[in-house]
Amino acid sequence: MSLKERILIVEDDNGISHFISTVLTSNNYDALTARTGMEGRRMMLSQSPDLVLLDLGLPDMDGISIVKAVREWSRLPIVVVSARTHERDKVAALDMGADDYITKPFGPSELLARVRAAIRHGGNRSPHPDAAQTGKYQVGDLLIDYDKHQVLVAGVNARLTQNEYKIITLLGRYAGKVITYDYLLRAIWGPISGGGNQILRVNMANIRRKIEKNPAEPEYIFTEAGVGYRLREDP
């Protein structure tokens, strides 16, 4: 009986595929590889992986349409792998339901952090972001106390506003995963028209002022340029 999580790598570049596969197998995962989108889709069905690492630049199929097709029948966690030159593609992939992304080139620790977070949260994205959450989330000196509706930094109440609290609790629920600007905006303000990113930026600046030692170099909430925010998680 194997308790190892099984990860399918869909990547046409042999070097990258081998690198990912080596990192995963040496960290107690089972790694399967596919070289094309077609082969990848076949293996998603036949091998029931726990997670897919999907290259967006495949020779035969568009990675984004693969994400879309998979989401029609499955919550299988998908982390898209993209080149730095394809910023728009990764946002599109996240909008289509990918769980996270990783940008080439990346190292083993970043890869493992994305994989861990995606497997842990995979399939859990609640359609009701306001649903009650209890307990606590702690990373470093930051403590989100869901029961008391408070965020503490080194034991001191950060005195967040209602919306600031909602933003950080949403990030906390998916700690380690990127949450897109659009997802946050919809979850907190509902469908609103243009200028939405500005209101989010203002709220984020205020949150950082309250929780970060140096808001210009955040240690808790990271900006993923052009995509969204990610709350740090302790490995």
Strands (E), 66-177: 78-83, 100-104, 136-139, 142-145, 150-153, 156-157
Q: What is the largest CA-CA distance in the chain?
A: 54
Smallest gap from residue 203 Cβ to Ca ion (A) = 37
9-28 positions binding Ca ion, by CB under 5 A:
12
Choose between 15 and 190: whose C-beta lies nearer to Ca ion. Answer: 15
Choose between 66 and 117: whose C-beta lies nearer to Ca ion. Answer: 66
Smallest gap from residue 219 Cβ to Ca ion (A) = 33
Smallest gap from residue 126 Cβ to Ca ion (A) = 33
Smallest gap from residue 110 Cβ to Ca ion (A) = 18
Tokens of 170: 């949403």
- CA 11/CA 55 separation, integer angstroms: 5
- CA 134/CA 149 separation, integer angstroms: 9
Tokens of 110: 């970043």
User: Strand 136-139 relative to strand 100-104: parallel, antiparallel, unpaired?
Assistant: unpaired
Closest CA to 4 of 119, 155, 170, 165: 119
**Contact between 100 and Ca ion (CB under 5 A)?**
no
> CA of 166: how far to CAs of 38, 106, 133, 144, 226, in Å?
41, 31, 11, 11, 21
Choose between 13 and 212: whose C-beta lies nearer to Ca ion. Answer: 13
Smallest gap from residue 59 Cβ to Ca ion (A) = 7
50-89 positions binding Ca ion, by CB under 5 A:
55, 57
Query: Identity (one letter) of the amino acid at 190?
Result: G
Q: Cβ contacts of residue 42 below 8 Å, gap of 6+?
A: 34
Closest CA to 165 of 195, 180, 187: 187
Q: Residue 90 has what DSSP assignment?
A: H
Which range of residues in 7-15, 96-104, 114-122, 126-134 is near Ca ion by CB under 5 A? Answer: 7-15
138-197 positions binding Ca ion, by CB under 5 A:
none
Choose between 54 and 211: whose C-beta lies nearer to Ca ion. Answer: 54
Tokens of 163: 């919306």
Give me the residue whose beta carbon is nearest to Ca ion: 57
**How many binding residues for Ca ion (CB under 5 A)?**
3
Choose between 70 and 158: whose C-beta lies nearer to Ca ion. Answer: 70
Smallest gap from residue 53 Cβ to Ca ion (A) = 12
Choose between 8 and 143: whose C-beta lies nearer to Ca ion. Answer: 8
Which range of residues in 49-57, 65-73, 139-147, 199-207 is near Ca ion by CB under 5 A? Answer: 49-57
Binding site for Ca ion (CB under 5 A): 12, 55, 57
